[in-house]
Homo-oligomer: A and B are copies of this chain.
Amino acid sequence: MRAPKTFRLHIGIFGRRNAGKSSILNALTQQEVSIVSEVAGTTTDPVEKPMELLPLGPVLFIDTAGIDDVGDLGEKRVAKTLAVFDRTDLGLIVTNFQDFGEYEQKLMDELKDRDIPFIIVFNKCDLHAENLSLTADFDSVKVNYVQTSVATGAGMSDLRQKLLRSAPDDYINRPSILGDLVGPGEAAVLVVPIDKEAPKGRLILPQVQSIRDLLDNDCFSVVVKERELREALSRFNKPPKLVVTDSQAFLKVAADTPPEIPLTSFSILFARFQGDLTEMVRGAMAIDQLKAGDKVLIAEACSHHPIGEDIGTVKIPRWLTQYVGGKLQIDNMRGHDFPKNVSEYKLIIHCGACMWNRREMLSRIMKARQAGVPITNYGLTIAYSLGIFERALQPFPAALELYKSKSC
């Protein structure tokens, strides 16, 4: 009975190999790190540990390998640890007064550069006396720090308080997925096609999150397949405020939804919820500038193996090629891997990233923007390719305005 990863505050734990990262984690979670995690820690992957952390709620601790001794660890491991910065909402730098130095300073710089709040944990304070000039410096520039001792338990509740205070606002006041577009006491219709590939007895995550978001906002939802949509709509004596469809049924749903009812897709809702809708609308419009030979990056958050007519590797490449009227150079990437420099691409097309926290998606959008490369997502690309972009943007006035101003 767990919260999905996307809602968890991602807390990255950084520090040298012997800094005591694991004992701080154990003390916070008040249980032993399991054998499974210890084994995983010896691989190249950072260890992820979901937790209900009082008083913060659902968090995901990411315990990284120390990146101080590069020789030992290999480049791959260092790269994996660096990639953790991209999904960290809040950083913990574990050190002590004796060892604090250039290495910790570099970690602080990495986190500051990315605008990620962090807390320095001076552990083993029962063994090392406080460095008064250092803490005075920190106080003067408002760097958050705590002094702890796992051995005596000192400072642990101070650390919890600081974690709560340092948690980013958008973790605590996260925008809603669609409840704000519907309003209390009103209904949204969610169109959920069931294809052969859908696992039995399940709904996919964005659908569940949307139903729950509507409940959280005192709305209600009607969940229906595309085939029964017309029948379901005929049952209302007052039309629903919004129809949301899976992108793959866009055309049929557009045909069956009266034009006065706003229509969009789950994927477009997630462009707003997980990323930046305006930026991604601009990205979709850049499809018009593509020409044969251009490089396009198609990136997917999930690392599962594609099944059948996969959207990212088959459908979108096929349609882009037809649209451009010539061969494109398309790279597909999965999971947390993402190029350091994306400037060689003319366009980046991303999945909805429903499994991630928002920070990782925003961090990719930032990388694209810095390199001057337009970025969009699957749902917007599909809506654009089907010629129903304007209708799909109707619920979002600012994005619609942008589209209209540029397209005429």
Contacts and interface: CB of A to CB of B under 8 A. Distances in A.
A7 interface: yes
A291 to B, nearest CB: 36
B237 A216 contact: no
B232 A224 contact: no
B208 A203 contact: yes
B237 A200 contact: no
Contacts of A228: 184-185, 218-220
Contacts of A302: 1
Interface residues of A, number: 49
A42 to B, nearest CB: 10
Contact of A237 (B218, B220, B221, B236): B236
A159 interface: no
Interface string A211-233: 11111101111111101100110
A405 B39 CA distance: 60
B194 A215 contact: yes
A277 interface: no
A237 B239 CA distance: 11
Contacts of A221: 222-224
Contact of A58 (B199, B219, B238): B199
A109 B192 CA distance: 47
A141 B237 CA distance: 64
Nearest to A38: B39
Contacts of A214: 223
Given A187-B232, A221-B222, A235-B237, A200 B39 contact: no
Given A2-B199, A201-B208, A221-B223, 19 more contacts: A3-B201, A3-B202, A6-B201, A7-B200, A36-B39, A39-B39, A57-B200, A58-B199, A192-B215, A194-B212, A194-B216, A201-B212, A215-B225, A219-B228, A220-B222, A220-B223, A220-B228, A222-B223, A235-B236
Interface of A: 1-4, 6-7, 35-36, 39-40, 57-58, 184-185, 187, 192, 194, 199-204, 208-209, 211-216, 218-225, 227-228, 231-232, 235-238, 302, 304
